[in-house]
Structures are given as structure tokens and as C-alpha cells.
A and B are shown apart, each in its own frame.
Chain A
Amino acid sequence: MLRLAVGLLVAFMTLPTVVVIAVSVNPTAILSFPPSGVSLRWYANVVTYPQFQRAMWNSLVVTAGAVALAMPIGTAAALALGRGRLRGREVWAMLLLSPLVVPGVAAGLGFLILGAALGLLRSRSVLIAAHVALVLPFVVRSVWVSVRNLDPTLERAAASLGATPWRTFRRVTLPLLRPGLLAALLFAVIVSLNEFVVSLFISTRLTEILPVAMFTYVVNYTDPTIAALSTLFILGTFVVVWLADRFLDLGGVFLHHR
């Protein structure tokens, strides 16, 4: 009985994915389920469609930029929250740790107005800035968990052994925060790559990232190309998470428990 319930739950959760994958191999040019055959023509279309190529590049640049900024900022914030003598720590924690409670539409609108006022809408900088804001809570939360598990006497021990504060950070603090940092990195990459609502507001045809490009495509065409791209997206994400969980010590944040 329990097994059946769990089975149904899993089926319910994975059904959309299964449908998308099935549709992506449909040889005919309509988004229909079940597929009438097996073909890879839409995958070929994904790779050759110029707007997707451009969007892929945009996604890489925006995600790389956002992650590169959010990681050090988020780590510093987590350290300040986790141990610094920060005034009003509760409030800061609430603001930094709760994944944005602001609806994506509102945040997108805000970034749009700001971007327009600053004349930055033609460049990817607004997208990067927005993504930093969006991934920061995930980074802070992941690192914060590691900060809280960190024994402060270890840093005292390092100091007593002659290590300067910077050396202590490099040789003790940072290595011990590794699991949190890696989890933060993964979260940031995944959240940024999948971000859509806010990005939609502040993308142009030239700067749009992959999810936005996919949306634009669906608005205009209804062939399974989009299903093929989605399938690739899903696979890519899964492979990254699997590799990370397999080879990096993440303490089972993503896949299995220990």
C-alpha cells in the first residue's frame, strides 16, 4: 500500500518530464503525445538554430558572471551571519536567507525599470545583477550550514600555532567550508541556468538566455524542437548533479542520504 502510494507520487512528479522526453523524439512537427515514432531531427534543429546558439552563450556568460559574484559575496555574508558580531543579525538573516518572497514578476519589473533608468538594458549586466540577487539566498544558506558546523576553536588553534587571520582563513576555514561552498556553487548554477520570469523582463533578442529563448520559440512555433532542447536541459542538469554528488563530498545535499 505504502509502496503504491510512493510509486504514484513518483509517477506524478516525473510524468511531465517523461512526456517532454517522449515528445522530443516525435518525427512529426506537432507537440503530441504519445509520439508516433522515433526521430532525432528536432535535436538537430536545436543545435543548428542560431537563436538557441546565441541564447546558450548568453546563459553561460550570465550564469558564470552571476556565480562568480554571488559566491564571494554570499560566503562573506554567511560568515558574518554565522559568527560575526553583526548588529540586527536576525533581520539580516531573514532578508538574506529566505529565497525571494517577492514574486518574480515584481522583481522582474523592478529590474526592468532600474535597468531602463540606468540605460543598461542592451547589455547583459542587468541580467547578471538580477541573477546575483536571485541566487544569493541559496549561496548564503548553503555556506551558512557549513559555517555553523565550524568549530571556532579550530581557528583559535590555528592562531596559536602562528597563523595570521588570512592564513587561518586559507588553511582552516575555507577547506572546512568546502561542502557548503560546493553545494552553494551547484545551487547557484542550477538556479541561474533555469531562471526565467525575471530574465524575461530584462532580456532583449540579443541578450536573452536559454529559458527565455525557449519561451519565445514556443510562442512562435509548435514543433518538438523545444521538447528536444528541454530534454537536453534536463539531462545536462542531471549529469552535473550526479557527477557532483558522486565525486564531491556534498554531504548528500542533492541525491542520496548518508
Chain B
Amino acid sequence: MARAVVELVGCSRDYGGVRAVAGLDLAVHEGELLSLLGPSGCGKTTTLNLIAGFVPPTAGRVLIDGQDVTERPAHQRGLGVVFQSYALFPHLSVFENVAFGLRERRIGRAEIERRVGAALALVRLHTHAGRRPAQLSGGMQQRVALARALVYEPRVLLLDEPLAALDRKLREEMRAELREIQRSVGITTIFVTHDQAEALGLSDRIAVMHDGRIEQLGSPRDVYERPATRFVAEFIGASTVVRGRAVAGDHLELPGGRRIRVRADAELRVGEEIELTIRPERIRLAGPADDNVVEGTVVGVVYQGLQTEVTVELAGGQRLLVFVPEPAPTALAPDQPLGLHLPPDAFVRLLPGRRA
């Protein structure tokens, strides 16, 4: 296993009486890009602030390269931070913004020239060194902020929703560029975002956060395909939660009496009430040869171009969301009966969620 560069050990942070981060344990490995993903108020930005040293933890320790830096102020941690608002210094030129950290490190003039030049070249802004931040577009400001945070070769790069302020097209471009720069520099990176697509597309690992805790930590594929809790399943991508009672090691009885075959990670205990989740793109319209088919009635149809999102209600009231790839094999309209094939291995069993 790779070496931990940043470690949080039992970190909590309260604001007033509100617990923003609750007993967090997290290890970020050398060279990886780890995303902290969650809705606003989940504690992801507070976690970043704890690592950066902007706020001290109420309890717990912060380690960088195995050294306890809990008591060390932000300016002695030597990390690179890119803020959501970029926080470029408006009174300084692009060059001086990028040079800021080098000047604080008392680096010689020629060396500053060289390194700022290289950093600006990395983000393709070497021709804009003399401009003021206000004269640049949002995307350019974002790249200046990145160059400023990378130029002194920090141990860790912290990114706080760096793409949130950009419009969609630019955001997608910057996402690719960011990933490429991160890979080429090889810097350990922590990326805070509420955007699941961003997290899935950029990360080596994702920590899904909820109510100040990490709900699940794993690779993007893991988190998407094997969500551990109901919260993760619902927050990342679309999903349907199916509730029922186990009637055999691999059979579930839905409230209407319909039995379906499921293949969860472990055998089901007969009689147990459980929750499973299934992704809408895994459910298919049933063909004549399919087994594990349920019948239902279409109650909602939303055309999305690439696919049509169909909500189907089963006899017992259970609803299933299904993504039917376009062009759809049959016309889809409300009140129409529909047979659905549920691949048994598409089900993922949910742990009893924290949201009781």
C-alpha cells in the first residue's frame, strides 16, 4: 500500500454547537487524487480547512508525511491551495500572484523569473504575466490560481470546488486539463466537490461525505457500482432502493408478493427485512427469453435524448427507475404495462444507513 502523505486521525470540528466534521479518519496516499464528495454542509470544505490549517480541529490530529502538524499554522504547512473564488490578489499582476509564494520563501530573483515562467507555461498563460487578475476570464483566473499553488512545489495540492464558478463547457475542459496537470506533476491532491460527475471523472479515490462523516471511501467504480449506503446510492447517480424480505439465500419478496432473484455479496438470512439498490441503466426491458422479470405500469416518462427515463410502478407499490437507451425498442407512454428484466447481480445490498 502506498505511503500516506496526509492523515486525519479522529478529527472533529465544531462550529458553535454544530459538528461540521465528526471523528474523521482518512489517509491520502502519495500521488493520488482523492475527492471529498458530498452535498453542501457535509463537512468536506471544513475537512479541507483542517488539512490546510485554516481552522484547528476541535479534536483529533492532522499528519503530513507522518509528522503531527495539528498545531502548525497554515503558513508553515507548505501546501498549495486553490480556492473556489480563486482568491487572486487583485492588486498584483499575474506574475506577482504566481511569484507570491516564492518571494515568501526568499528565493532569488532569477530563480523566481524562471519558475514563474515555467508555472505560467504549464497553464498556458505565459503571455499574460503582466495582466491584472480582473483582466482575465474566469478560466484564466482559475489557471493562474493553479499555477500560484503549484509553483513552489508543495507537498500536497488542495482544491476547493475549483471548477464550480465556471460555466459547463469550460468546466469540462478545465477538468481534463486539471487531471493532466495533476498527473504530469504527480502531486498528491485533495479535491473538494459536490459534483459527482467531476469526482467520478477525476479521482483515483472518492470519499463520499455526509453529516461530517465519510460514508464510503473507494475508487469511482466502487462507489458508483457498489454503494455502501442508501445515501451514497442516492447521492451518486440515479438509483432505486428496493425494500423487501428475504425468503431464501438469494430471493427477495417484494411487498406485493412478487419474488425476485438477487445476488448480493453475502447470502441473505431468511426472514430478514433488507434494502437493496439497483442502477436504472442496469434494468432492461424484458425480452421473451429473460428470467427474473417483473411486470409493472409506466407512471412517468422523461425523454433525455440519449435515453428515456421511465418510472415503473409494480403491483405492491414499489417503483423502479429505468433508463431505456434511445432509440427505444417500443413506444413508451404512461399507463402502459411494461415487463422489466432485473439482472440479479445488479443489486447491491445497502448497509443500514446512518439516516435512520
Contact = CB atoms under 8 A, between A and B. Distances in A.
Interface stretch (B9-17, B77-85, B174-182, B323-331): B77-85
Interface of A: 151, 153-154, 156-165, 167-168, 171-172, 175-176, 178
Contacts of A159: 53-54, 73-75
B61 interface: no
Interface stretch (B86-94, B121-129, B199-207, B340-348): B86-94
Interface stretch (B98-106, B220-228, B308-316): B98-106
A153 B87 contact: yes
B104 A161 contact: yes
Contacts of A164: 75
Q: Which of A157, A168, A178: most chain B CB closer than 10 A? A: A157
Given A158-B75, A158-B100, A165-B75, 7 more contacts: A154-B89, A156-B87, A157-B88, A160-B74, A161-B104, A162-B78, A164-B75
Nearest to A163: B104
Contact of B52 (A151, A154, A158, A160): A160
B87 A161 contact: no
Nearest to B100: A161
B261 interface: no
Contacts of A167: 104
Q: 7 closest Cβ contacts across the A-B interface? A: A161-B101, A162-B104, A157-B87, A160-B81, A159-B74, A153-B87, A159-B75
Contact of B75 (A162, A176, A178): A162
Contact of B101 (A162, A176, A178): A162
B148 interface: yes
A172 B75 contact: no
Q: Is the interface of A mostly helix, strand, loop or mixed?
A: helix
B152 interface: yes
9 contacts: A156-B54, A156-B81, A157-B89, A158-B89, A161-B101, A161-B148, A162-B101, A162-B152, A163-B75
Interface of B: 52-54, 73-81, 83, 85, 87-91, 100-101, 104-105, 148-149, 152, 158
Contacts of A163: 75, 100, 104
B79 A160 contact: yes
Contacts of B81: 156-157, 160
Contacts of B89: 154, 157-158, 172
A206 B166 CA distance: 66
A199 to B, nearest CB: 38
Nearest to A154: B87
A151 B100 CA distance: 17
B74 A176 contact: no
A156 B105 contact: no
B90 A160 contact: no
B323 to A, nearest CB: 40
Nearest to A171: B100
B104 A157 contact: no
B91 A176 contact: yes
A153 B104 contact: no
B152 A153 contact: no
Nearest to A167: B104
A50 to B, nearest CB: 48
Contacts of B158: 160
A175 B93 CA distance: 13
Nearest to A153: B87
Contacts of B87: 151, 153-154, 156-157
A159 B77 CA distance: 9
B194 to A, nearest CB: 18
A162 B74 CA distance: 7
A178 B91 CA distance: 10
A160 B83 CA distance: 11
A160 B80 contact: yes
